[in-house]
Amino acid sequence: MFRRKLIASGISMMLGAPLSAFAADNAEMLQIRNEIRSMKQSYEARIEALEQRLQRAEAKAGKADNRNAQAEAVTAQITSSAPSSVSNAFNPAISLILSGTYSSLSQDPANYRITGFIPGGEIEPGTRGFSLAESELIVSANIDPNFYGRLTLALAPDNTLGVEEAAVQTTTLGHGLTAKAGRFYSGIGYLNEQHPHAWDFVDAPLAYKAFLGRQYGNDGMQLKWVAPTNTFLEFGAEAGRGSNFPGSERNKNGTGSYALFAHVGDDIGTDHSWRAGLSWLHNTAKSRTYDDLDSAGNMVSNSLDGNSRLWLADFVWKWAPNGNPAYRNFKLQGEYFRRQEIGDLTFDTVNLASIDRYSATQSGWYLQGVYQFMPRWRVGLRADRLDSGTVDYGSVNSANLSAPAYNPSRNSLMFDYSPSEYSRMRLQLAQDKSHQGVTDNQLFLQYIMSLGAHGAHKF
């Protein structure tokens, strides 16, 4: 259009058009140029503004991406270095109890005897010098909402590995009922259910050694019921294989042992608490062999077929000012045992094999007190007494086996220091008169260290 106007203007000039028309055309062209220039500047300004906004937006986006990348890197680092609670929810709790002793014994432990009592289990005071005591590896966890499982492996000083406990326990029976199956320490008495590292003294009381071979464990089933009362009331029953002393391996279907127990306890104010119990244990012994001295002092191997019935009474009283045992506390603990065994005893199974009727009624007790006189420091005293009671070997075997009227005894004094709840060091002095005519002066140094998860001990 511009060119047409220009051509028209030239034709008009050639035709003699007036100068005013030519001036008007120039003014129009100038206006058009100005409009084009204005539009160009306006568009360039808008484009520049848009480009600047784009640059600012890209810069912000880059910083955000950088921050996100940094956050993701930090999160990844934390996740890789910290354990996941979700994954650990399926891992069992594992704890390790390390224990060792130094023993100084005035008598040879290989000759250790409890006069008047048929030996069984682990009754020796240990080995002289330094030795590894019983160390335990404990693995436990909830199996599912209905069951809880626990495994306790014990490493003995002679480098043998044994299974102390391997049991499953119900968690959802309700009404105060709990069932357990597998291998476990019986609920009879007070001390029996506790593991050795939880004892207040290095070794078990004489009564536990004489009547239970140190500690009674069983393969079987247990049912407990805790009454819904303010006063603690617990009742339990057990049935098991009964292969451990005072029972024996029978190679027979059915059960070889039964146990019943009941416990009651309560608080007295804020400073005192107590628990008392009664228990009964029945075992069947079939060819329960043991080595012992005959009346002439010779070592012979004998065997018993019969029944063993044991009654126990236990009592525990605890004191702590305002119910806080952290600074000072005192525990008084005692148990009474009475056992009756009836059966056929075979004397000298290797040579004479003389069989006669056997019966024995024997008893024993221990009483101990442990006082924490300041944080981490405790002192304890224990008295052990056994009564050989009445033992009848029959008219035939009485010539070879004697039942001396002797009552074994032992007194123990201990001091221990616990730097923390996971470690303990103990010194124990004892005068052991278990063997008639022999006094064994004993000194023990013990350490107990707990690694990993470890639950609270029983009352």
pLDDT tens across the length of the chain (459 residues): 444 443 344 434 444 444 444 444 566 667 777 777 767 666 666 777 777 777 766 665 554 444 454 444 434 443 333 344 433 455 789 999 999 999 999 999 999 999 999 999 989 998 999 999 889 999 999 999 999 999 999 988 888 899 999 999 999 999 999 999 999 999 999 999 999 999 999 999 999 999 999 999 999 999 999 999 999 999 999 999 999 999 999 888 999 999 999 999 999 999 999 999 999 999 999 999 999 888 888 889 999 999 999 999 999 999 999 999 999 999 999 999 999 999 999 999 999 999 999 999 999 999 999 999 999 999 999 999 999 999 999 988 888 888 888 999 999 999 999 999 999 999 999 999 999 999 999 999 999 999 987 766 777
Distance CA 137, CA 235 (A): 29
Q: Is residue 236 within 8 Å of residue 279, measured between CB atoms?
A: no
207 sits in which H/E element: helix 206-212
User: Distances in Å between the alpha carbon of 203 and those of 81, 325, 428?
Assistant: 43, 24, 10
Q: In the block, which residue shows the tokens 């063997």?
A: 435
pLDDT of residue 45: 65
Q: Is residue 169 within 8 Å of residue 180, measured between CB atoms?
A: yes
Nearest to 127 by CA among 203, 16, 66, 43: 203
Q: Is residue 123 within 8 Å of residue 148, measured between CB atoms?
A: no
Q: What is the dihedral of CA 285, 288, 290, 292, to 10 degrees?
A: 50
The contacts found for 179-185 with CB under 8 angstroms, 24 or more apart, are 179/221, 179/222, 179/223, 179/224, 180/221, 180/222, 180/223, 180/224, 181/220, 181/221, 181/222, 182/219, 183/217, 183/218, 183/219, 184/217, 184/218, 184/222, 185/215, 185/216, 185/217
pLDDT of residue 59: 61
Nearest to 114 by CA among 384, 339, 378, 452: 384
Q: Which is it for strands 217-226 and 299-319: parallel, antiparallel or unpaired?
A: unpaired
Global pTM reads 0.80
Burial string for 257-287 (b: 16+ CB within 10 Å, else e) reads bbbebebbbeeeeeeebbbebebebbbbbbe
Residue 7 neighbours by CB distance under 10 Å: 10
